[in-house]
Structure 1
Amino acid sequence: MSVKLHVIHHDDHILVINKPGGLLSIPGKGPEKQDCVVARARSFFPDLPAQPAVHRLDLHTSGIMLLARTKHAHRHLVSQFQYRKVVKRYIAILDGSLAAESGSIELAFRLDPENRPYQVLDPLNGKSGITLWHKLSEQNGRTRIEFTPLTGRTHQLRLHAAHDQGLGVPIVGDFLYGNGEDGDRMLLHSAFISFTHPGSSQTCEFTLEPPF
């Protein structure tokens, strides 16, 4: 297991990590899925609690990921996510053009048990996901966009980008919902996070430019 990990910030309560695309957030099932952000962080900070992750990024998503260093910090941060007190923004490149400059998307979707981890639109039984977006620039038939998710559903931004009831334009490199192939670099990056520090109660903000 490689132990390289870019730590943006650390103190007695939190770790802020720059997760590379292609690295799991937390361990999966099987020995081949044990290399992840949590495992690498634990090699540097062995006193991490058993469950330090307070949120996850998709395997192929890069950028800011927040970990707790104590059980108290974990409870505090998880509560902020549950009550939508955490602000997150993502940068993505879409594989096409958009006519509108900004907007919001609200779609309900759920896991397709016959095709895991694929999510399908289901207005009746799905969980609603809400995303604000605005276009940053357009070049060579592709669109740079900023997403602000108000909920944290699985594959929310990927589905909201690709589905024809959303933007109808998938994220570049997305092999589940777009035209990418497994192993492609998906151009989705966690670029900003704002939350209340569990120790000081002060507002913390971190920004990280995307590598694309």
Structure 2
Amino acid sequence: MDIIELVVEDDIGERVDSYLAKKLEEVSRSYIKKLIKDGHIKVNNLQVKPKYVVNKGDVITVKLPEPEKLELIPQDLPIEIVYEDEDVAVVNKPRGMVVHPAPGNYSGTLVNALLYHLESLSTINGVVRPGIVHRIDKDTSGLLMIAKNDFAHIELSKQLKEHSITRIYYALVEGNIKVDNGTINAPIGRHPVDRKKMAVTDRNSKRAITHFKVLERFGQYTLIEAKLETGRTHQIRVHMSYIKHPLVGDLVYGSKKNEFKQEGQLLHAKVIGFIHPRTKEYMEFDSQLPDYFKKVLDVLRRKNYRHN
């Protein structure tokens, strides 16, 4: 059982469950409430309720029980394996598929499919995330690199840390971006109110840089190429929303109009490039836009043609 001890440094007048949800990013607020109820969280060695307001100097002790042992089931789910050798694989994830299992969602994920289709996966991220070096959102489609052993995982992780991986996305955004290209350099952290969302913020945030280039303009919409320099959670979605050009179909960070009735943002991880862990050769992979994305572009191009 892991024990975490925190000392409240500021008199912020915040509920203990809310305070801990910010401090322990990997733990949800609902799970924190359960831990409080089960007596695993104490303040100044006393049991409290989730609504207890923390004070400066309070000592909070959190006991995190050992996670339940999970046995993930390999599933014959349709995924496109673009490349594979003894060390790495590159897969094209479809929209709507979660990358790895999480509480309440232990099947139907990319990991379940990888366990079925690949003979081996790295173990560094534990039983729930074998082979997973980086992630893309459930409703984002496109290319992911997968580590088939721990050696490959360590080497690819180093490249991610050094920002030397090539990651290029195509996105359809709302509004007409007037400049041809630009860079958004704005730190990203947890949203101060809605903990499920990310936001551009100076508080508890990390450096985040996105380079974008306009590919095609459609009046009310713009097709862009976005290149990640850093890889924060929801980075492109948050950054484009921040400059008032949210992604089409993004019901979390965008508008609710959703003219094209999309079940998620029009964002595709089109290109991935990295140095092979063993051969040290640079490899780059490109992928086609999915059909639903191309159909929206076709509609916009026909509209544009009629208006010109």
TM-score normalised according to structure 2 size: 0.64
Trace 1:11-160 onto structure 2 (pairs within 5 A): 11-30=85-104, 32-50=105-123, 51-112=130-191, 114-139=193-218, 141-160=220-239
Bigger relative contact order, structure 1 or 2 (CA pairs below 8 A, ≥6 apart): 1
Answer whether contact 2:174 2:246 (CA < 8 A) is retained.
yes
**Take 1:124 and 1:107, find their aligned partners in 2: how far apart are those partners?**
12
Give the aligned residue type for 2:251.
Answer: F
**Take 1:183 and 1:90, find their aligned partners in 2: how far apart are those partners?**
18
Q: Secondary structure at the match of 2:274?
A: strand
Answer whether contact 1:172 1:187 (CA < 8 A) is retained.
yes
Give, in angstroms, the shift of residue 139 of structure 1: 1.8
Alignment correspondent of 1:170: 246
Identity of aligned residues (%): 30
Answer whether contact 2:156 2:277 (CA < 8 A) is retained.
yes
Q: Secondary structure at the match of 2:272?
A: strand
Give the aligned residue type for 2:156.
Answer: L
Q: For 1:149-201, what per-residue CA distance to the aligned partner results, in whole angstroms no more than 9, with x for missing partners? A: 100011110011011xxx31100010110024797231000011111001211
Answer whether contact 1:103 1:133 (CA < 8 A) is retained.
yes
* Greater share of strand: 1
Give the aligned residue type for 1:39.
Answer: N
**Take 1:115 and 1:100, find their aligned partners in 2: how far apart are those partners?**
32
Are 1:10 and 2:84 matched, yes or no? yes
Trace 1:173-184 onto structure 2 (pairs within 5 A): 173-180=249-256, 184=263
Q: Secondary structure at the match of 2:159?
A: helix
The ranges of structure 1 where at least 4 consecutive aligned residues each deviate by more than 6 angstroms after the TM superposition are: none
**Take 1:145 and 1:33, find their aligned partners in 2: how far apart are those partners?**
34
Give the aligned residue type for 1:190.
Answer: A
Give the aligned residue type for 1:44.
Answer: H
**Take 2:264 and 2:241, find their aligned partners in 1: how far apart are those partners?**
17
State which drifts further: 6-15 or 44-53.
44-53
Structure 1 segments unaligned to the other structure (5+ residues):
none
**Take 2:266 and 2:106, find their aligned partners in 1: how far apart are those partners?**
22
Alignment correspondent of 2:69: none
State which drifts further: 131-140 or 152-161.
131-140
Q: Which has the larger radius of gyration?
A: 2
* Greater share of helix: 2
TM-score normalised according to structure 1 size: 0.92
State which drifts further: 188-197 or 40-49.
40-49
Q: Secondary structure at the match of 1:204?
A: strand
**Take 1:161 and 1:210, find their aligned partners in 2: how far apart are those partners?**
20
Count of residues paired in the alignment = 208
Give the aligned residue type for 2:271.
Answer: F
State which drifts further: 59-68 or 33-42.
33-42
Answer whether contact 2:274 2:283 (CA < 8 A) is retained.
yes
Q: For 1:65-113, what per-residue CA distance to the aligned partner results, in whole angstroms no more than 9, with x for missing partners? A: 1101111001110111011111110000002211111110011121136
